[in-house]
Amino acid sequence: MVEQDYQELTAEEAELYDRQIRLWGLENQKKLRNSKILIAGINGLGAEIAKNIILAGVKSVTFLDSKSVSKLDFASQFFIPRTDENKLRAEASLPRAQALNPMVELTADTGNLHEKDEEFFKKFDVIVIIEGKMSEQIRIDNICRANNIKFFAADMWGLFGFSFSDLQEHEFAEDIIKHKVVSKPNEKVKTEPIKTTSKRSLNFPSLETAIAFDYNSPAFVKRMKKSGPAPLVMKILQTFREQENRDPLPENREEDIKKLLSIRDSLSNSEQVTDIYFEHVFGQISPSAAILGGSVAQEIIKTVSQKDAPHYNYFFFDPQTACGYIEAIGV
């Protein structure tokens, strides 16, 4: 992680971030103001994450994306004008993103993720990988672990999405509310809230460790019955991307669903993932991207400020229940 020398906020910054300073404090805003964020993959989900952290007032955000704008992007990527189809997504996203907060340094990098070496990633405090192959995510997470950089991976397929965080050894402060009895003897019991701050730490597993579990083990099958099959759905979609070098496409709907079902059957004997799951994994849906993007951005803010407990270590948004939930996998 880049060594920090927290600089004081200017008067203009203090005025702009006044409400946030009241919410999470001046010191935490200074931490945000000195953080450098990389978002690799500026699709609809990436745009939602970028929007929130730019408004929060980080030091800089780099958009790394070599893809061109397609019609599918217009369903959820609000930074890109419709006149910019076929332009590079990273560059097309800059003007509207910069308008959100001129004080944040924004950069577009149109290079390929797999061509970036360790020296490139060492410039950042937090790295977010979207649309990356699992093998590439593991490579970058290992680089992050070697350099004390906080790592996030997130993806969304249609209505289904997930995020993963590897914060390594992460320390944070958490406010705890207790109630103290203030009434006198023989009076009706009265209490008042007392806030105390507790310092805690969590040790996160690597992505490589987190994904190395047996989907057919009794423990995992039992877990799926309790919380849902989202981890297996994620694995199926990631395997499809690894094999096909793309995500499921609306124009290939029938063919891609057959491939997804074949992958499902090869990975697991579970009946938890029904065929209907794969009816909703095409493109990106703006409301779902907003939910997951807001969650990831909030986790980045919590990570940088070291305030409040982070998600440990997966977050899933399940379209079958329209709910999100946290799952600790590989810990």
Other Cβ atoms less than 10 A from the Cβ of 95: the count is 13
Q: Are 11 and 103 in contact (CB under 8 A)?
A: no
Tell me the domain boundaries of the chain: 11-169+286-327, 170-200, 211-280
CA distance from start to end of the chain: 23
Spatial separation of the C-alpha atoms in residues 27 and 4, rounded to whole Å: 13
Q: Looking up tokens 């579990």, which residue turns up?
A: 213
Cα-based angle 114, 119, 125 (whole degrees, multiple of 5) = 95
Q: Are 303 and 126 in contact (CB under 8 A)?
A: yes
Residues 6+ apart with CB under 8 A from 147: 1, 118, 121, 122
- One pLDDT digit (tens) per residue for the chain, 331 residues: 544 555 677 888 877 888 888 778 888 889 999 999 999 999 999 999 999 999 999 999 999 999 999 999 999 999 999 999 999 999 999 999 999 999 999 999 999 999 999 999 999 999 999 999 999 999 999 999 999 999 999 999 999 999 999 999 999 998 888 888 777 787 787 888 888 888 999 999 999 999 988 878 888 888 888 888 899 999 999 999 999 999 999 999 999 999 999 999 998 877 788 888 899 899 898 999 999 999 999 999 999 999 999 999 999 998 888 889 999 998 8
Q: Which amino acid is at 241?
A: R
What tokens appear for 165 in the block?
A: 């965080």
List, as one string, the DSSP characters of 101-163: -TTSEEEEE-S-GGG--HHHHTT-SEEEEES--HHHHHHHHHHHHHTT-EEEEEEEEBTEEEE
What's domain 11-169+286-327's architecture? 3-Layer(aba) Sandwich (3.40)
Q: Are 312 and 331 in contact (CB under 8 A)?
A: yes
Residues 6+ apart with CB under 8 A from 291: 161, 317, 324
Q: Which amino acid is at 49?
A: I
Nearest to 315 by CA among 197, 129, 163: 163
Spatial separation of the C-alpha atoms in residues 248 and 49, rounded to whole Å: 22
Q: Are 140 and 129 in contact (CB under 8 A)?
A: yes
Q: Are 196 and 202 in contact (CB under 8 A)?
A: no
